[in-house]
Amino acid sequence: MIGSGTAWRIGVAVILAACAPTACRKPGDARKTDLEEAGYQLTQADWFRAAGGNDVSALRKFVAAGFNPETLDARGDSALHAVASAGAEAAADFLLDRGLHVDRRGDSDRTPLMAAVLANQTAMVRWLVRQGADPRAKDKDGYMPLLLAVKEGRSGAVSELAALHGENLDSAILLAALSGQTEVIDTLTNYGASVYARMEDGRTPLMIAAENGHAESVKLLLDIGASRFSIDNEGRSAADLATAEGHPQIAELILREPTAGELALESPQQVAEAMEAFVDASKAGPSPAPQGDTPAAGTPAHAPSGTDGQGAAPESIEGAVLSAAREVSPVESPTAGSKPSQPAPHAATPTQAASNASPASAVAASSEPFRMPPLVMRHYRQREMPIRVRTVEGDSATLEILGSKPREIRVRSGESIPSTPLVVTRMQRRMEDSKLNLGQPMEVSVVEVRDSRTGTTREWISGVPSGAHDPVALVEDAATGKRYIASPGRRFKSADGAEFIVTDVRPSQIVIEDAATGAVRTLPLRGPRG
């Protein structure tokens, strides 16, 4: 039998045991201890540590202990920025479920998507976009996620964002050229950025890369079709700009002597084969072989795979019957009269390079519906010749052959241009409207040439770069995968009988008109992988 004193002591012991810290503490204290057992304190620093470590269990304990998920760090970033930077998808999902906004602004007015871009978290960029993150939000410096990715050389993020930015791709490639981001340039061109993009002052990506001394970017741009003979609004070539800025080796790379292929015209068949090969090579992954050194007639740079299973080059879209037309988003038509911005200096900042870029398309939306086959623009091609018409006097023409040592030659009608398969068939002087003369008529010299191997003819005009072929686009019927060559004036139909006209082909878009209604729509260049 237990005495009364002993019983009292046992009772007290039982009560004290029942009220031990693990049993009689307040609920909040219990949760705080749970956090401590998990290795965390109920502090801001540990909240961000758990978030960045993708520790969802700990984050739950923080919230259960009353911690505010909206807590910011010293820079003004939320935990969602931290998980985005760490690529912590599970933690990001938890935070979104707790009400954090996917586009929560933080340091420098940047969103979590921007944080993922800067941290080179490609998978997180993809995931955040799928959760509805805004790819067009801008930080305090005016950078969208795509342009941040370009500036920082995040090619993985660029590949995730480029397809969402068709209207900004030319700005992006100009910025990439300014920054010397070679891998990014390659990625952008696969998603629709054009090597023919221009600043308002006429500079192309090649010119910008050359004047800023980015040799690897120059090499890539030349390999994927950038013209080394183009000039800006002041008549300067990429080589001129490189020389002026003290980059003689880059100038030498650009000024190499023209190859036999560059001194020949291209037949429609050759153009089709080259474009098909370019797109197939780009879809496969590695950068395609150089397009500037066009092979001699009949010897394509690549053996094209074709899209009809027979290895044939794409046919002209003229007379083709494509898949049935379907209603597409608002009709778009070119707008005129927009005032261009001032040209940026050669030392323009990245944001200036982007903001001063010529728009890929200046369009105005119409409320009228527009039905069209499911066409996709995959590639654009134009090739300038290393030959310029200087003047025609009497029965002879003065031409300039470009290269490491430019030289002038005089030829008469019926004579061949030395070291080329080109024969001069006609020459004259005539009056033409010209942008060089503010749209007023001016006298120009005209030389017509014929390639003796293919019979292809071209007309060259003084003051205008000489072309090897008409500008053309490679388009694809998205429903069938079949590709066609599109050039201005070509007509085609849809399977349901509607007729359409290709009214214009530009580096970043083609313009399609509904023959019955006259409504027009622009199709942006989406590139091989866009």
Q: Which long-range contacts (CB under 8 A, 24 or more apart) does 228-232 make?
A: 228/254, 228/255, 228/292, 229/384, 229/385, 229/386, 229/402, 229/465, 230/204, 230/206, 230/384, 230/465, 231/202, 231/465, 232/198, 232/199, 232/201, 232/202, 232/203, 232/204, 232/207
Element (H, E) at 177: helix 169-179
d(CA 426, CA 406): 24
Dump pLDDT digits (tens) for 436-452.
556 678 899 999 999 99
Determine what percent of the chain falls in helix, strand and coil, rounding each to the nearest 5. Answer: 35, 20, 45
d(CA 343, CA 352): 9
**Are the CB atoms for 496 and 373 separated by under 8 Å?**
no
d(CA 145, CA 116): 9
Dump pLDDT digits (tens) for 151-204.
999 999 999 999 898 788 999 999 999 999 999 999 999 999 999 999 999 999
Label the pairing between strands 331-334 and 509-514.
Answer: unpaired
Higher pLDDT, residue 102 or 8: 102
d(CA 371, CA 274): 31
* DSSP at 131: T
**Are the CB atoms for 78 and 66 separated by under 8 Å?**
no
pLDDT score of 369:
67
Range in 80-94, 316-330, 345-359, 406-420 with the lowest mean pLDDT: 345-359
Q: Tell me the β-bridge partners of 326.
A: 372
Q: Which long-range contacts (CB under 8 A, 24 or more apart) does 339-342 make?
A: 340/200, 341/200, 342/200
Q: Is 514 helix (H, G, I), strand (E, B) or coil?
A: strand
Evaluate if residue 8 carries a pLDDT over 80. Answer: no
Please provide residue 391's backbone torsions phi and psi, each rounded to the nearest 5 degrees.
Answer: -165, 160
* DSSP at 72: B
Range in 57-71, 151-165, 320-334, 490-504 with the lowest mean pLDDT: 320-334
d(CA 162, CA 122): 13
Write out 406-458 in H/E/C secondary structure. Answer: CEEEEEECCCECCCCCEEEEEEEEEEEECHHHCCCEEEEEEEEEEECCCCCEE
pLDDT score of 32:
65
Higher pLDDT, residue 303 or 46: 46
Label the pairing between strands 396-401 and 326-328.
Answer: unpaired
d(CA 518, CA 23): 81
Rounded to 10 degrees, what is the CA torsion of 319, 323, 327, 329? Answer: -80
Can you tell me the mean pLDDT for 226-247?
93
**Are the CB atoms for 513 and 370 separated by under 8 Å?**
no
In this prediction, what percent of the chain has a pLDDT beyond 70? 80
Higher pLDDT, residue 276 or 4: 276
Evaluate if residue 130 carries a pLDDT over 70. Answer: yes
Helix intervals (H) in 44-168: 44-52, 56-64, 79-86, 89-97, 112-118, 122-130, 145-152, 155-161
Element (H, E) at 352: helix 350-355
How many angstroms separate the most distant Cα atoms in the chain?
Answer: 139
pLDDT score of 403:
86
Residue with tokens 């091989």: 528
Mean pLDDT estimate for the chain: 84
Q: Give the total residue count for the chain.
A: 530
In this prediction, what percent of the chain has a pLDDT beyond 90? 68
